[in-house]
A and B are shown apart, each in its own frame.
Chain A
Amino acid sequence: MSLKKLALGVAAAAMLGSGLLASATPAQAEDSVYIPLLTYRTGPFAGSGTPIADGLHDYLTMLNERDGGIGGATLIVEECETGYNAQKGVECYESTKGNHNGAVVYNPFSTGITLQLIPKAPIDQIPILSMGYGLSATAVGATFPWTFNAPATYWSQMSAIIKYIDTQDGGVSGKKIGFIYLDVGYGREPIPLLEQLAVDMGFEVMLVPVGVKEMQSQSSHWLQVRREKPDWMIMWGWGAMNPTAIKEAAKIRYPMDHFIGVWWSGGNVDLNPAGEDGTGYMSANFHATGTDFPAIQDILTHVVNKGMSQASADTVGDNYYNRGMMNSVLIAEAIHTAQTITGNVSISGADMRVGLENLNLSEERLAELGLAGFTNAIRVTCEDHAGAHPIYLQQWTGSGWNAVSDWFTPMRDRVRPLLEAAAVEYTADKPDWQTQTCN
Chain B
Amino acid sequence: MLYREAGQFKTNYRADQAVFPIRQDFIGIAALLAVLFLVVPFTFNDYWLNAIMIPTMIFALAAIGLNILTGYAGQLSLGTGGFMGVGAYACYKLVTIFPEVNVLIHILLSGFFAAGVGFLFGLPSLRIKGFYLAVATLASQFFLEWAFGRVAWLYNYNPSGAIEVPNQYLFGVAIAGAPASSVTRYIIVLTIVVALALIASNLVRGRFGRAWMAVRDMDIAAELIGIRLLPTKLLAFSISSYYAGVAGALMVFMWLGAAEVESFDINHSFLILFMVIIGGLGSILGSFLGAAFIWNLPILLRAMPKYFGADINAATVEHVQFMIVGGLIIFFLIVEPNGLARLWSIAKEKLRRWPFPY
B260–A185 CB distance below 8 A: yes
B161–A184 CB distance below 8 A: yes
Stretch of A114-122, A167-175, A261-269 that contacts chain B: A114-122
**Complex-state Cα separation, A422 to B340, whole angstroms:** 50
Q: Which of A115, A188, A430 contacts B166 (CB 8 A)?
A: A430
B262–A91 CB distance below 8 A: no
Q: Which of B160, B178, B257 contacts A189 (CB 8 A)?
A: B160
> Which chain A residues border B149 with CB–CB below 8 Å?
183, 211
Stretch of B67-75, B114-122, B329-337 that contacts chain A: B329-337
Given contacts A18-B52, A86-B259, A119-B177, contact A24 B166 (CB under 8 A): no
- A4 close to chain B: CB less than 8 A: yes
A87-122 interface (Cβ within 8 A of B): 87, 90-91, 94-95, 98, 111-112, 115-116, 119-120, 122
- B48 close to chain A: CB less than 8 A: yes
B257–A17 CB distance below 8 A: no
> Which chain B residues border A111 with CB–CB below 8 Å?
160
Interface string of A1-44 (1 = CB under 8 A from B): 00110111011011101101110100000000000000101100
B343–A8 CB distance below 8 A: yes
A24–B303 CB distance below 8 A: yes
Given contacts A8-B347, A430-B167, contact A86 B262 (CB under 8 A): yes
**Complex-state Cα separation, A283 to B292, whole angstroms:** 46
B297–A14 CB distance below 8 A: yes
**Complex-state Cα separation, A7 to B293, whole angstroms:** 12
B296–A15 CB distance below 8 A: yes
B160–A188 CB distance below 8 A: yes
Q: Which of A3, A39, A212, A422 contacts B262 (CB 8 A)?
A: A212
Chain A binding surface, main DSSP class: helix
Beta-carbon nearest neighbor of A18 in chain B:
B300
- B104 close to chain A: CB less than 8 A: no
Interface string of A51-87 (1 = CB under 8 A from B): 0010000000000000000000000000111010111
**Complex-state Cα separation, A81 to B315, whole angstroms:** 6
Q: How far is the CB of B285 from chain A (nearest CB, A)?
A: 13
**Complex-state Cα separation, A27 to B328, whole angstroms:** 33
A94–B51 CB distance below 8 A: yes
Given contacts A15-B289, A79-B314, contact A7 B331 (CB under 8 A): yes
Beta-carbon nearest neighbor of A195 in chain B:
B159
B307–A24 CB distance below 8 A: yes
**Complex-state Cα separation, A122 to B178, whole angstroms:** 9
A7–B296 CB distance below 8 A: no
A120–B257 CB distance below 8 A: yes
- A432 close to chain B: CB less than 8 A: yes
**Complex-state Cα separation, A280 to B252, whole angstroms:** 44
A95–B51 CB distance below 8 A: yes
> Which chain B residues border A42 with CB–CB below 8 Å?
315, 318-319
Q: Which of A8, A116, A188 contacts B258 (CB 8 A)?
A: A116
> Which chain A residues border B328 with CB–CB below 8 Å?
10
- A429 close to chain B: CB less than 8 A: yes
> Which chain B residues border A95 with CB–CB below 8 Å?
47, 51
> Which chain B residues border A429 with CB–CB below 8 Å?
96, 99, 166
A21, A24, A90, A123 pick with most chain B CB within 10 angstroms: A21
> Which chain B residues border A340 with CB–CB below 8 Å?
none
- B199 close to chain A: CB less than 8 A: no
Given contacts A21-B300, A87-B256, A91-B51, contact A115 B162 (CB under 8 A): yes
- A135 close to chain B: CB less than 8 A: yes
Q: Which of A86, A98, A123, A135 contacts B179 (CB 8 A)?
A: A123
A15–B293 CB distance below 8 A: yes
- A273 close to chain B: CB less than 8 A: no
Given contacts A81-B317, A135-B160, A188-B159, contact A86 B293 (CB under 8 A): no
> Which chain B residues border A211 with CB–CB below 8 Å?
149
**Complex-state Cα separation, A119 to B201, whole angstroms:** 38
Tier of interface size on chain A: 35 or more
Q: How far is the CB of B13 from chain A (nearest CB, A)?
A: 34
B71-91 interface (Cβ within 8 A of A): none
Given contacts A111-B160, A115-B160, A123-B178, contact A7 B332 (CB under 8 A): yes
- B11 close to chain A: CB less than 8 A: no
B335–A4 CB distance below 8 A: yes
- A307 close to chain B: CB less than 8 A: no
A11–B318 CB distance below 8 A: no
B262–A94 CB distance below 8 A: no
- B299 close to chain A: CB less than 8 A: yes
A119–B46 CB distance below 8 A: no
Q: How far is the CB of B269 from chain A (nearest CB, A)?
A: 14
B243-295 interface (Cβ within 8 A of A): 256-263, 289, 292-293
A24–B178 CB distance below 8 A: no
- B129 close to chain A: CB less than 8 A: no
Q: How far is the CB of B235 from chain A (nearest CB, A)?
A: 31
**Complex-state Cα separation, A183 to B262, whole angstroms:** 10
> Which chain A residues border B292 with CB–CB below 8 Å?
14-15
Given contacts A24-B307, A119-B164, A192-B159, contact A14 B300 (CB under 8 A): yes
- B110 close to chain A: CB less than 8 A: no
A94–B50 CB distance below 8 A: yes
A178-221 interface (Cβ within 8 A of B): 183-185, 188-189, 191-192, 211-212
Interface string of A324-336 (1 = CB under 8 A from B): 0000000000000
> Which chain B residues border A431 with CB–CB below 8 Å?
167
10 contacts between A and B (CB under 8 A): A4-B343, A7-B331, A7-B335, A81-B318, A83-B318, A85-B262, A98-B46, A112-B162, A185-B160, A422-B159
Closest 6 CB pairs of A and B: A41-B315, A185-B160, A119-B178, A81-B314, A79-B314, A116-B258
- On B, residues with C-beta under 8 Å from A are 45-48, 50-52, 96, 99, 149, 159-162, 164-167, 177-179, 256-263, 289, 292-293, 296-297, 299-300, 302-303, 306-307, 313-315, 317-319, 328, 331-332, 335-336, 340, 343, 346-347
Interface contacts beyond A116-B258, A184-B161, A184-B261: sample of 13 additional A-B pairs, CB < 8 Å, sorted by A: A11-B340, A15-B296, A18-B299, A18-B303, A22-B47, A41-B314, A41-B318, A79-B315, A80-B314, A115-B162, A183-B149, A188-B160, A432-B167
